[in-house]
Chain A
Amino acid sequence: MIFPALIEAIQASAPAQWMRTSLAAMPVIEAIHVLAGATVFGTILIVDLRLLGIPDTRRPVTRVCSEMLRITWIAFCVSLICGALMFSANAHTYVGNTAFRLKMLALLGAGVNMALFHGITFRNVGAWDQNAPVPLAGRIAGATSILLWVCVIFLARWIGFTKGFDFQVPVNPHIDFQF
């Protein structure tokens, strides 16, 4: 396991305890996480599609980027805070979960892809800002971004089905079967 002491400290922290004990915390935080995550995806999708020339190349890339990325970053921060809270509640099980690890890898990939695009391809944006096809590198960045963010969402949903829980099952649970 990675940094066992750190994981221990995260799981023992006050926000983690609040997430585990409050009735409303998990559903509310999770719903906000889904909403913010979906907003990140939807706004990035508009930028990525513009790079691919969909629906057309009439609106300047610079304008589409600056408009969308404001919303993207706000939604990303909200999503990150909620995700961190969910992580803290069951830190041990998350770090060992394959879907979670792959999701972090996909997020890292999306970040690197974005950094490469903005750091290299975007530098001569003036030449293809409007009414011109985006260079191949930019189109590849757009397609890669869509693919990676779809992976992030799929892997995120997979965590919920594979993670299990980090608490004791009661010894004599009372179960009502309804046949």
Chain B
Amino acid sequence: MQGSHSFASWLSGTPASLSIKSVSWVIPLVQSVHIVMIGVVFVSCLMIALRVLGVMRTDQPVGAVWRRFAPWMWSGLVVMAATGLTLVVGEPEREFDAVSFWVKMLLIAVGVGGTALYGRSLKAAAAGATGEFPVSSKAASILVVVVWLAVIFFGRAIAYDKQVWGALSPHA
């Protein structure tokens, strides 16, 4: 954590960081865009998952549902990465000194990799589909949704690192 703390201190003094911090509305604005994108990404993932579970959009094949929502999901993630990076550069100490931030980053890696694998597995499963998906596909659907839920939770928890992690938090 010490290394990331010195890096955060250095980043905090860079011109890029100073210009983000110097305008009071930049961080709230970027956070707002980040939250709007949570809606786009999370609901896109939820739609695909609910289709595989047979709860929704059963009038469409899974391939069509994937093609409808995956582009929104991936584009939304790109916007979230860009806005997220801006927030990190603007407030590096807030992020790097928070346990929740690192947990969130780890879960994002799991989420992105997992969702990509999930999409590929659906194509294979859909090829021999008799309508109903195997239990493994259904379990994977629930798992991806849960991972994104956790990402969202830890994202908000960054602001409350001491309360959430107690003595484990460098902010404590």
Q: Which of B56-78 contact A (CB under 8 A)?
A: 56-57, 59-60, 68
Chain B residues, Cβ within 8 Å of A43: 43
- Return the contact of A41 from the options B29, B36, B149 (Cβ within 8 A): B36
Main secondary structure of the interface of B (DSSP, over half): helix
Interface size class for chain B? 20 to 34
A34 touches B43 (CB 8 A): no
A27 touches B157 (CB 8 A): yes
- Return the contact of B43 from the options A46, A67, A161 (Cβ within 8 A): A46
B42 touches A157 (CB 8 A): no
Chain A residues, Cβ within 8 Å of B60: 59
- Return the contact of B42 from the options A26, A38, A55 (Cβ within 8 A): A38
- Among B36, B149, B157, residue most surrounded by chain A Cβ atoms (within 10 Å): B36
In the bound assembly, the distance between CA atoms of A16 and B60 in angstroms comes to 46
Chain B residues, Cβ within 8 Å of A150: 36
Instruction: Tell me the smallest distance from the CB of B56 to a CB of chain A, in Å.
Output: 5
Name which residue of chain B comes closest to A56, CB basis.
Answer: B68
A35 touches B40 (CB 8 A): no
Q: Is A15 an interface residue (CB 8 A)?
A: no
Known interface pairs A27-B159, A27-B163. Does A45 touch B38 (Cβ–Cβ under 8 Å)? Answer: no
- Return the contact of A157 from the options B32, B68, B164 (Cβ within 8 A): B32
Q: Is A97 an interface residue (CB 8 A)?
A: no
Q: Which of A23-76 contact B (CB under 8 A)?
A: 23-24, 26-27, 30-31, 34-35, 37-43, 45-46, 55, 59, 63, 67, 71
- Complex A-B: 19 CB contacts under 8 Å: A23-B163, A27-B157, A30-B156, A31-B153, A31-B156, A34-B152, A34-B156, A35-B38, A38-B35, A38-B42, A41-B39, A41-B43, A42-B39, A45-B39, A46-B43, A59-B59, A59-B60, A150-B36, A158-B32
Please give the residue numbers on chain B whose beta carbons come within 8 Å of chain A beta carbons, in ascending order.
27-29, 31-32, 35-36, 38-40, 42-44, 46-47, 56-57, 59-60, 68, 149, 152-153, 155-157, 159-160, 163-164
